[in-house]
Structure 1
Amino acid sequence: MPDPSLPLDPSTVVVTAGRPARSPGAPVNPPVVLSSTFVSTGVPPAGELFYGRNDTPTWHPFEVALGALEQSAHPALVFGSGMAAIAAALSLVPPGGRVVLPTHAYGVTLAYAHDLTVRSGIEVASVDIADTNAVAAAVRSGRPASMLWVETPTNPMLEVADLPALVAVAHEAGALVAVDNTFATPLVQRPFEHGVDVVVHSVTKYLAGHSDVVLGAALADDADLHARLHAYRTLHGSVAGPFEVWLALRGLRTLALRVARSQASAAELARRLSEHPAVLEVRHPSLPADPGHARASALMEGYGSIVGVRPRGGADATDAVVAAVQLWVPATSLGGVESTLERRRR
Structure 2
Amino acid sequence: MDDWTPRTRAIAAGRPHGPGTPLNTPIVATSTFEAGGDSVYARSDGTETWAALEEVVGALEGGHATAFGSGVATLSAVLDSVPVGSTIAVPTFSYAVTRGVLQHAQQLGRLTVTELDPTDTQAWLDCDADLLWLESPTNPTLDVMEIETIARGTRGRVVVDNTFATPLHQQPLSLGADIVVHSATKLIGGHSDLLLGVTVARDETVAGELRAARTRIGSTPGALEAWLALRGLRTLPVRLAEQTRTAELLVSRLAEHPRVTKVRYPGFGMMVAFELPDADAADKLCAAVRLIRPATSLGGVESLVERRAWLPGEDRVPPGLIRFSVGLEDPEDLWRDLLTALG
Which consecutive residues of structure 1, in runs of 5 or more, have no partner in the other structure?
A: 287-302
CA contact (8 A) 1:210 1:251 kept: yes
Separation in 2, partners of 1:281, 1:197: 34
Task: Give per-residue Cα distances to partners, 1:260-314, cap 9 Å, x unaligned.
Answer: 111111111111000001111111123xxxxxxxxxxxxxxxx1211111113x1
TM-score (norm 1): 0.87
Match of 1:203 in 2: 184
Query: Could you tell me how far 1:120 is from its partner in structure 2?
Result: 4.7
Task: Give per-residue Cα distances to partners, 1:144-202, cap 9 Å, x unaligned.
Answer: x21111001000100001111101222xxx20000000010000100011111011000
* Amino acid in the other structure paired with 2:23: V
Query: Could you tell me how far 1:12 is from its partner in structure 2?
Result: 0.7
Q: Cα RMSD between the aligned structures?
A: 1.2
SS across alignment from 1:28: coil
Match of 1:290 in 2: none
Separation in 2, partners of 1:71, 1:223: 12
SS across alignment from 2:226: helix
Separation in 2, partners of 1:215, 1:265: 26
Within 5 Å, which residues of 2 pair with 1:185-204? Answer: 185-204=166-185
Match of 1:184 in 2: 165
Task: Answer with 158-167 or 119-128: which moved more.
Answer: 119-128
Query: Could you tell me how far 1:225 is from its partner in structure 2?
Result: 1.1
* Amino acid in the other structure paired with 2:209: R
1:342 aligns with 2:306: yes
SS across alignment from 1:109: helix
Match of 1:135 in 2: 124
TM-score (norm 2): 0.88
Match of 1:70 in 2: 61
Match of 1:317 in 2: 281
1:12 aligns with 2:8: yes
Separation in 2, partners of 1:92, 1:200: 15
Separation in 1, partners of 2:212, 2:156: 21
Separation in 2, partners of 1:109, 1:238: 16
SS across alignment from 1:187: helix
Separation in 1, partners of 2:207, 2:109: 22
CA contact (8 A) 2:191 2:301 kept: yes
Runs of 4+ in 1 over 2 A off after TM superposition: 90-93, 118-121
For residue 326 of structure 1, the aligned residue among 287, 290, 294 is 290
For residue 216 of structure 1, the aligned residue among 197, 219, 224 is 197
1:119 aligns with 2:117: no
SS across alignment from 1:308: strand
Identity of aligned residues (%): 45
Match of 1:108 in 2: 97
For residue 152 of structure 1, the aligned residue among 136, 139, 149 is 136
Separation in 2, partners of 1:121, 1:60: 33
Match of 2:320 in 1: none
CA contact (8 A) 2:25 2:48 kept: no
SS across alignment from 1:345: helix
Separation in 1, partners of 2:183, 2:232: 14
Which consecutive residues of structure 2, in runs of 5 or more, have no partner in the other structure?
A: 311-343
For residue 162 of structure 1, the aligned residue among 123, 136, 146 is 146
SS across alignment from 2:23: coil
For residue 76 of structure 2, the aligned residue among 82, 87, 106 is 87
Query: Could you tell me how far 1:333 is from its partner in structure 2?
Result: 0.7
Task: Answer with 210-219 or 84-93: which moved more.
Answer: 84-93
* Amino acid in the other structure paired with 2:79: L
SS across alignment from 1:129: coil
CA contact (8 A) 1:80 1:241 kept: yes
CA contact (8 A) 2:121 2:145 kept: yes
CA contact (8 A) 1:94 1:146 kept: no
Separation in 1, partners of 2:82, 2:31: 32
Separation in 1, partners of 2:304, 2:272: 11
* Amino acid in the other structure paired with 1:257: V
Separation in 2, partners of 1:267, 1:187: 17
Query: Could you tell me how far 1:91 is from its partner in structure 2?
Result: 2.5
* Amino acid in the other structure paired with 2:123: A
Task: Give per-residue Cα distances to partners, 1:220-253, cap 9 Å, x unaligned.
Answer: 1112211110000001100011111011100000
CA contact (8 A) 2:142 2:266 kept: yes
Within 5 Å, which residues of 2 pair with 1:14-53? Answer: 14-21=10-17, 23-41=18-36, 48-53=38-43
User: What is the aligned residue count?
Assistant: 309
